[in-house]
Structure 1
Amino acid sequence: MYPVNQSKQAFIQGEVALVGTGPGDPDLLTLQAYRFIQQADIVIYDRLVSKAIMSLVPGAAERIYVGKKQAQHRVPQEGINQLLVEHAKLNKKVVRLKGGDPFVFGRGGEEALHLLNNGVACHIVPGMTAASACTSYVGIPLTHRQVSQSCSFITGHVKDSGELDLPWQTLNDKKQTVVFYMGIKSLPIITEQLIKAGRSASTPAALIHKGTTPEQQVYRANLSTLAATVEQHNIKPPTLIVIGDVVNTFNEHHLTNIGYLSP
C-alpha cells in the first residue's frame, strides 16, 4: 500500500481530479495520482492511458472512454468538458485520466477553466510528460553538457487547413534539442522546414514509438532520412520525434528497452 500524506487536500464528492498518467508505464505514476485513482467514483479516460494503469481503477468505479485520434474524436472536447461538470454535479468523485501531463498538450487547462467557470473545484495532478520519460527510457538525455543547453517541446499537430505554423527560425540552434509530439503525419513538413531554417540535414534524430510500454520501439536516423524511416517501418502514432545531437549520446553503450544502460 502506498503511503498517504494526510496533509494533502482531501478529494471530496462533487470534485474533479485531472490526473496525468505519464506515457504508459504504471511505475511512473506519482503517489498522488495513485491516491486519486483509488478514490474514483467515475473515471473519464483518454486513448493514451494504458491498460496497466486502467487496471488500478477500483472495480466499482464507472468508466467512460473519450479517446481521440487525429480527426477522429469519439467525444468532442466540448462534450468532455460537459461530462466532467455533469458527473461532478451528481456528487461524484470524478477522475479525468490523461496521458502524459494534463498541462502539456493535454488540454487540461481548458478542462480546468470550464470546471471552475461552472462552479466545480478541481485538483491538478501532474504526470511525467512523454518528452522526458520516453527519451530517458531509450537513453537520450534532453540536455547534455557541451551538447545541448536547451530543449523545446512542440506540437506537430497540423491545423485544419493542413498548415503547421511554427517559429522555425528559433529551432535551428545546433545546441538545442527539439521534441515533437503528435508529429508523425506532419513529419515531411517538419523536416523540410527545419532544414530550410538552417538545421543541418545530418542532425541526429530518433522516433520513439509507444515509449515506456512493453511495445516500445526506437528508430534512429537523421533529419534528412527521418520521414523515409517512418515510411520504411510503417510507424504509427503514438510516436515521439526527437531531434538533436543528444540522440547519439549513448550510442556506444548497450541499452535495453527499459532504460537500463550497461558498459
Structure 2
Amino acid sequence: MDAQLLADTLPKFPDFPPGEVWLAGAGPGDPGLLTLHTLHALQTADDIVHDALVDPRILKLAGNQAKLIFAGKRGGRPSSEQGDINELLIERARMQHRVLRLKGGDPFVFGRGGEEALALTRAGVRFRIIPGITSGLAAAALAGIPATMRDINHAVILMAGSRSADRASIAEWERLASVGQPIIVYMPMSNLPEIMSAFERGGMGRDTPAVIISSASTSDEQIVETSLSKAAADAERQGICAPAIVIVGAIAGMRQKLLSNMACE
C-alpha cells in the first residue's frame, strides 16, 4: 500500500518526525483489525521494534525503508529484558530515526507501554501513543461473547495471569473472583489450574461458564467452551497453548446463544 495514497486519502495523519517514538498496538493478529494510524506508522517508520505477538502479516505492511527489530517478551521463554528494550528505543530515537514500538493488542493493556513511555519521558524523548484493539476484548467479541450485557453484567475485569502463583497472587485472584463480575484473563496458561481454583475459592461456582481462546483472529485459533472446574483439564486435553485468553463468567455462556447466526470465516 502506498503511503502517499494513504496520506492523500486521510490527510489528518500526524507527522512522524525523526527522533520520535510511537508506541502502537497491532491488535489481536488479523491485519484487518489494525487502526489506520498504526498502518500509517508502519509505512513511515525507519525502525519497527516489534514483540513476539505481532502477526507476520502485519510486519509485511512495513515500508521498504523500515528495519525490523525483534524485541519480544514471552513468558517462560528467553526474552528481551525490558530495560534493554527501553534503552534500544531511546538509542534509535537519538539517532534521529522514526521509531515504531509495535505491540500485540494495545500498548497500555498488559503491554508494558506505560513503562516504556515513562523511560522515554525520563530520557527527554518525544513519543506518541496509538491505541490498538486489546486482545482479550477482541478475542471475546470475535467468539460471540459480549464483554458487557445489560441483563448480565455492568462491569468486566481484565486480569493478567502470568504472575507467579505465590500466596499474594492467589489471594488477589480470590479477591477478584469475589467481586462477582466476569473476568477476562490474559496470559493464563502457565497458571491456569491455580487461577481457576482461586476463582472457585473466591466464590465462583464450579459450573460457571468459561471459554478459552488461543491465537485469536488467526488461522491457528482454537476455542474451547468449558466451565470453571473443567477449564484446566480441557485446555490440557485440547492442547491449548499461549498466546491465549480465558473468559470466565455468565457472559461466556452467550457464545452458544449467538453462534448459530454469526458470520465466521
Do these two structures clear the TM 0.5 threshold for a shared fold by scoring above it?
yes
State how far apart, in whole Å, the 1-side matches of 2:99 and 2:164 are.
31
- CA displacement at 1:164 relative to structure 2: 2.3
Three-state SS of the structure 1 residue aligned to 2:151 is coil
Say if 2:175 is the partner of 1:172. no
State how far apart, in whole Å, the 2-side matches of 1:192 and 1:14 are.
48
Partner residue, 1:71: 76
**Partner of residue 192 from structure 1, selected from 189, 197, 215:** 197
**Partner of residue 81 from structure 1, selected from 78, 81, 86:** 86
- CA displacement at 1:177 relative to structure 2: 1.5
Partner residue, 1:225: 230
Three-state SS of the structure 2 residue aligned to 1:69 is coil
- Asked if the contact 2:28–2:138 (Cα under 8 Å) also holds between the matched residues in 1, the reply is yes
**Partner of residue 135 from structure 2, selected from 124, 130, 138:** 130
More strand by share: 1
State how far apart, in whole Å, the 2-side matches of 1:155 and 1:167 are.
10
- CA displacement at 1:167 relative to structure 2: 5.1
- CA displacement at 1:6 relative to structure 2: 3.7
State how far apart, in whole Å, the 2-side matches of 1:169 and 1:163 are.
11
Three-state SS of the structure 2 residue aligned to 1:164 is helix
Three-state SS of the structure 1 residue aligned to 2:163 is coil
Cα pair distance change 1:240/1:37, threshold 3 Å: same
State how far apart, in whole Å, the 2-side matches of 1:158 and 1:109 are.
18
After superposition, give the CA deviation of every residue in 1:72-124 in whole Å (9 maximum; x if it has no partner): 34321110000000001111001111000000000000101111111110010
Say if 2:252 is the partner of 1:240. no
- Asked if the contact 1:204–1:223 (Cα under 8 Å) also holds between the matched residues in 2, the reply is yes
- Asked if the contact 1:173–1:199 (Cα under 8 Å) also holds between the matched residues in 2, the reply is no
State how far apart, in whole Å, the 2-side matches of 1:160 and 1:72 are.
17
- CA displacement at 1:59 relative to structure 2: 2.4
Partner letter of residue 33 of structure 1?
T
Partner letter of residue 87 of structure 2?
Q
Cα pair distance change 1:245/1:81, threshold 3 Å: same
- CA displacement at 1:217 relative to structure 2: 1.3
State how far apart, in whole Å, the 1-side matches of 2:222 and 2:167 are.
28
- Asked if the contact 2:24–2:107 (Cα under 8 Å) also holds between the matched residues in 1, the reply is yes
| Structure 1 unaligned regions, length at least 5 | none
Partner residue, 1:213: 218
The CA RMSD over aligned residues, in Å, is 1.9
- Asked if the contact 1:158–1:164 (Cα under 8 Å) also holds between the matched residues in 2, the reply is yes
Three-state SS of the structure 2 residue aligned to 1:219 is strand
State how far apart, in whole Å, the 2-side matches of 1:221 and 1:160 are.
22
- CA displacement at 1:173 relative to structure 2: 4.6
Cα pair distance change 1:255/1:85, threshold 3 Å: farther
- CA displacement at 1:60 relative to structure 2: 2.4
Three-state SS of the structure 2 residue aligned to 1:68 is coil
Partner letter of residue 260 of structure 1?
A
State how far apart, in whole Å, the 2-side matches of 1:2 and 1:137 are.
27
**Partner of residue 108 from structure 1, selected from 100, 109, 113:** 113
Cα pair distance change 1:111/1:173, threshold 3 Å: closer
Cα pair distance change 1:64/1:198, threshold 3 Å: same
More helix by share: 2
Partner letter of residue 117 of structure 1?
R
